[in-house]
Structure 1
Amino acid sequence: MQSLLNDSVTILGLLGALAILILTAFIVSTYLNKMKHSKADGVLTQENWDGIKEFKNDLPIGWSTIFLCVIIWALWYMFIGYPLNAYSQIGEYNREVNNYNKSFEEKWTNLSESELSIMGDNIFQVQCSQCHGIDKSGIDGKAANLNSWGRKEYIVNVILKGSKGMNFLAGEMVPIAISKEEAEAIADFVMAEISNSKTPANAETIAKGKELFSVNCVACHGVDGKGVEGMADFAPDLSKYGTHEFLQIVLSRGKNGHIGKMPSFDYVNFDEIQEKALNSFILSDE
């Protein structure tokens, strides 16, 4: 204790603290006495709230000065002392994230078909295998068998068995009363002439499928398979069938299945590369 008192800096600090304490006690006691003994007087405003009026007091000089200084300081801080485009840790972090995302996009932009399929397999196992099974088979009918999805076989199945649809205005697609051979002809025509996948087929079968398509499918899907003109949301656009664009429609809208409803996957926010990868895996023989 003796050594502390011999330190001049410590003594000055203690004296300053004591002075602040005495000054605080004096000011507090002064204002408490004013509160006890002072009487309200001064010029009142004309407004009256249940008999209560307001004094016409000027703004306190100290408060006004501090308020003005804060405004000046804020303007200086934003435009001179620390402009909006100046360095910040948050700004540095955002730049680092953007640079990383760009490098990631460059790395995964030009993938081979096998690399896309591997990526799609990983996405499928996390997001889809719970219902469709790790082998895409649909777990014994609990969900759609995706081993035929995007192919001719799936179209044939939809024609003969119908589809619960994806909440288009046309509603549920009912089974069409035609033979399996005729359904296959329609599927060949769709895959070869309408779908952007352009899967080749026998010319005679395509011609037959085109005729059957015009009789059984045009009412909802239109002559070109892109839907009824002027009603883009009426039925699925078959020109996108078999591509990642059609998969994106399914993921976004969800799908009514025979055992329940597949929800929309918009919350996952797949990008185009991920959609292409997922579509590649579904169309693969793996």
Structure 2
Amino acid sequence: MQWFNLSDSVNALALLGAAVILVLTVFIMGLYLKKIKDAKQSDGEQLEHTWDGIGEFANNIPIGWVACFGAVILWGFWYFFLGYPLKSFSQIGQYNQEVQKYNAAYAEKWNGLESVELREMGLSIFQVQCAQCHGPEADGMDGKAQNLVIWGKEEGIIDVIKNGSKGLGYMMEEMAPVEVSDEEAKAIAAYVMKTFSAKKETKYPLEVEKGKDLFEIHCTACHGDDGKGMEGMALDLTTYGSTSLLHKVLNQGKRGNIGIMPSFGYANFAPAQEEALNEYIQSLTAQE
């Protein structure tokens, strides 16, 4: 692997600047270390403050230090505004522009797909990017990774209530398991899905009213009465099951009880790809 390409003028300039700074640093350090070594007790003027018997002479700032400091500042202005202007060409900038152009063309081409087409696209993305950890069936391979079959559904909420959750970087950090019965967890999940989630629907409509009372007792302290997580303190439940929450996980990664999911920010998923992946995950059927 080629770490430093001297044919690139920016790299060569950076290397030259680093070498000059290094040489000057070694020279000046050696000069003053020699002065310290050769110095004798002096009766020169001292400043009033002392610390642990150590005083400070009222000497002027060394001319060499001031000269080097000023030279570095001048070199910095020259580097950013003349030698390598901020708006000049860079390989990273070119790459970012190409990615943006590609994503725009991709979004235009795949805009307005039907649900079936989105699921097919999402399946392809899942098989390439996700299946190696979450398994070909997205069930997490017996706990080796998150079970995506239940993610975004009542079963996923019940799992979090019973087992807790962590790793998305909220100010309240880890969510501890909630001490409720299975039926109570089911009722809370029904209320969250019907009232707050992106889907606004539940498989257990008769449990919603019961779940509302339980939510107020066990959940509002962190998620708030409106379920929005009190301005980032905890998860905004209105994003549960949505593409926006999937985007957060993909780009931030997640640390959980079973390991660490790395960030997929490098993959530069287009919005249409994230929508397709979420559509596929939401189409998976959880077992009763």
Q: Write the letter of the residue equivalent to 2:282.
A: L
Kindly state the Cα deviation for residue 204 of structure 1 after the two structures are TM-superposed.
4.3
Q: Secondary structure of the residue that 2:225 maps to in structure 1?
A: coil
Select which of 101, 122, 134 maps to 1:132. Answer: 134
Q: Cα offset for 1:259?
A: 2.4
Q: Deviations over 1:239-266 (max 9, x none)?
A: 0101111111211221112221111222
Name which of 95, 110, 132 aligns with 1:108. Answer: 110
Poorly superposed stretches of 4+, deviation over 2 Å: 100-107, 200-204
Which residue matches 2:233? 234
1:1-286 alignment, distance < 5 Å = 104-200=106-202, 203-228=205-230, 232-285=231-284
Instruction: Give the direction of change, closer, same or farther, for the CA distance of 1:215–1:102 in structure 2 (3 Å limit).
Output: closer
The offset of 1:161, in angstroms, is 0.9
SS of corresponding position for 1:109: coil
User: If the length of structure 2 is used for normalisation, what is the TM-score?
Assistant: 0.61
The amino acid that maps onto 1:171 is E
Aligned sequence identity (%) = 49
C-alpha root-mean-square deviation of aligned residues, in Å? 2.3
**1:59-117 CA distances to partner (integer Å, 9 max, x unpaired)?**
xxxxxxxxxxxxxxxxxxxxxxxxxxxxxxxxxxx99x95x866543330010111101
Shift in CA distance, 103/192, structure 1 to aligned 2, threshold 3 Å: same
User: For the residues of structure 1 that align with 2:215 and 2:203, how far apart are their CA atoms?
Assistant: 15
1:210-230 CA distance string (max 9 Å, x none):
1111111111111111011xx
For 1:167, give the aligned amino acid. G
Of the two, which has the highest radius of gyration?
1
1:165·1:173 contact (CA, 8 Å) conserved in 2? no
Structure 2: state its 5+ residue gaps: 1-96
Instruction: Give 5+ residue unaligned stretches, structure 1.
Output: 1-93
Q: How far, CA to CA, are the matches of 2:171 and 2:105 in structure 1?
A: 42
Please tell me whether the aligned partners of residues 107 and 272 of structure 2 are also in contact (alpha carbons under 8 angstroms): no
Q: Tell me the distance in 2 between the aligned counterparts of 1:225 and 1:116.
A: 29
Matched position secondary structure for 1:156: helix
- When residues 144 and 104 of structure 1 are mapped into structure 2, their CA distance, relative to the original with a 3 A threshold, is closer
